[in-house]
Amino acid sequence: CMMTEIAQSQCKPSDFQCILQDQHFIESMGACVKDECTIREALTTKNITETLLGNPVRDHTKMVSYTAMSIGMLTFICVILRVIARLHIFGGVWGKDDWVILAAMIPTIPITFLSIVLAEKGLGKDMWTVPHDNITDILRIYYFDELFYLSSIGLTKISILLFYLRIFPERTFRRWTHMTIALCILYMLGFGFAVIGQCTPVNLAWNHWDGEHDGHCINLNAEGWAASAVNMVLDLMVMFLPARELARLKMSRRKRLGILAMFLLGLFVTIISAIRLNFMIRFANTQNVTWDYTPVGYWSVLEIQLGIIVACFPALRALQHRLFPRTKKASEWYKSPASYRYGTGKSKTPAQTLLLSVTSRFRNRRSEHLPTHNGDLSMQRGTHTTHAGASDELAIVGHEHSNTQVERASTHDGDTNHTFLDTSSLESVFAPPVRFPSDGITVKKEYSVNVEYKKDRR
């Protein structure tokens, strides 16, 4: 091709400067190579031409490896902290969602380390600068990375959905959650088998690039686009599924928005999925695989790792609340409620007794007594039992149910008779006991107050 095109050029064969500036020669040379040469020969010719032209060598290999290692380390730390948060000695409760997130973490390990191998093989460079055997190795690693990708993002979604089942008891919501879990399983299985059988024979998936092997492959671009689109739909379903339940929580608007924002962090992962899909569409018919597929690679790694990090946020927040609890001043705990009403009157009877029996549900705690206040008021904390299915994240989302009822109570101090009516909160009267990280977090409290009003009759 070169000799044919040079013969038709106005430049002399020895005048390389003239040849390199002849745009018609370069275009004709490229067309001839494409028609007459094999892909391997064409890549070799392209490499020689680019070298003669003095074009710079593009290299983004470090971006591939550095991105994978940095976000991989952060993900590993978040998962370890989640495990610590769920250990019993730290007041946590281990659940199915924790097992599943560990399963989702397993495929990210080979993806992270294989990113280093891909960078060393030449991912992030122009294809004509990469040794031919390395191109085959890169596509072979990509084949298995697709399976790791599908399994990890699917298991991450299932872990989040199982977490929903731990904290939201509403029947209809749980039914929808189970249906979404089933869709995630079908997503993993369906597209997993599609990836495995994308080519016949299987090794054609990484050998087809040179056009020298016989076999048949499905439309790989269509399969990749469909998988990404379904993944984004599932992301949105998982993200907005608990919105109605969160909106019904009895808490301040500021706290509700904060909790909702924590759950909606998954929107960032969905945005990354859209960016990844955009690159897949742009380079659908690329002839420079090792360069054009570089952004697809590191955006895939970011999507997987950040998805796991987002799934760990509720447990990390629970751990933070246990290790760094928010404290109040003593004056704030012992303020008299505004709903108290006081009356005075003369009385010749002895001191009247107010007996409050308060039973609270905690986890695996023995009965203990709170100190008596002012000599006339006593409170007893009853036996604490574990509530089936409860978790420390219930306290985070404010999903507590309290039932407090005070019929009538009175105390007598000297010549003054005090009557309490419409007491709406006992926690504003009594300071909470000192807690340590190992004490856990109250996930459900049920108060029952029995008041006995006794008066001596003479």
- For residue 9, give Cα distances in angstroms to 15, 37, 373, 397: 11, 21, 105, 76
**Spatial contact of 272 and 288, defined as CB atoms under 8 Å apart:** no
Q: Same domain, yes or no, for 288 and 351? A: no
Q: Could you tell me the pTM of the whole model?
A: 0.69
Q: Same domain, yes or no, for 30 and 65? A: no
Cα-based angle 214, 216, 221 (whole degrees, multiple of 5):
130
What does the pLDDT read at residue 401? 37
Q: Same domain, yes or no, for 348 and 222? A: no
Q: Same domain, yes or no, for 34 and 131? A: no
pLDDT in tens, the chain (458 residues): 666 666 666 666 666 667 666 666 666 766 776 767 788 888 888 888 788 777 788 999 988 889 899 999 999 999 999 999 898 887 788 989 999 999 999 999 999 999 999 999 999 999 999 999 999 999 999 999 999 999 999 999 999 999 999 888 889 999 999 999 999 999 999 999 999 999 999 999 999 888 888 888 888 888 888 999 999 999 999 988 888 887 777 767 777 676 777 777 778 888 998 898 888 887 777 888 999 889 988 999 999 999 999 999 888 888 888 877 764 443 443 344 433 333 444 444 433 333 333 333 333 444 444 444 444 433 444 333 333 334 445 555 444 333 333 333 444 444 444 444 333 333 333 344 444 444 444 444 444 445 454 555 54
Question: What range defines the domain where residue 239 resides?
Answer: 61-323
Q: Same domain, yes or no, for 240 and 259? A: yes
Q: Tokens for 144, please give them.
A: 């298995």
CA distance 369 to 64: 60
Give the residue from 28, 53, 78 where a domain finishes.
53
CATH number at residue 170: 1.20.1070
Interstrand relation of 409-413 and 416-420 (parallel, antiparallel or unpaired) = antiparallel
What does the pLDDT read at residue 26? 67
Give the residue from 13, 30, 53 where a domain finishes.
53
Q: Same domain, yes or no, for 405 and 272? A: no
CA distance 246 to 257: 9
Task: Concatenate the DSSP letters of all residues of 272-287 into one string.
Answer: HHHHHHHHHHHTTT-S
Which helix (H) or strand (E) covers residue 313, if one does?
Answer: helix 294-323
Helix, strand or coil, per DSSP, at residue 417:
strand
CA distance 205 to 195: 9
What does the pLDDT read at residue 326? 64
What does the pLDDT read at residue 250? 73
Q: Same domain, yes or no, for 210 and 232? A: yes
CA distance 120 to 62: 9
Q: Same domain, yes or no, for 317 and 338? A: no
What does the pLDDT read at residue 64? 86
Give the residue from 273, 296, 323 where a domain finishes.
323
**Tally of domains in the chain:** 3
CA-CA-CA-CA torsion sign (372, 378, 384, 388): negative
What amino acid occupies position 194?
A
First to last CA, the chain: 125
Q: Same domain, yes or no, for 118 and 99? A: yes
Interstrand relation of 216-217 and 368-369 (parallel, antiparallel or unpaired) = unpaired
Q: Same domain, yes or no, for 37 and 111? A: no
Q: Same domain, yes or no, for 139 and 157? A: yes
What does the pLDDT read at residue 165? 92
User: How many residues make up the chain in this entry?
Assistant: 458
Q: Same domain, yes or no, for 25 and 156? A: no
What does the pLDDT read at residue 120? 92
What does the pLDDT read at residue 7? 65
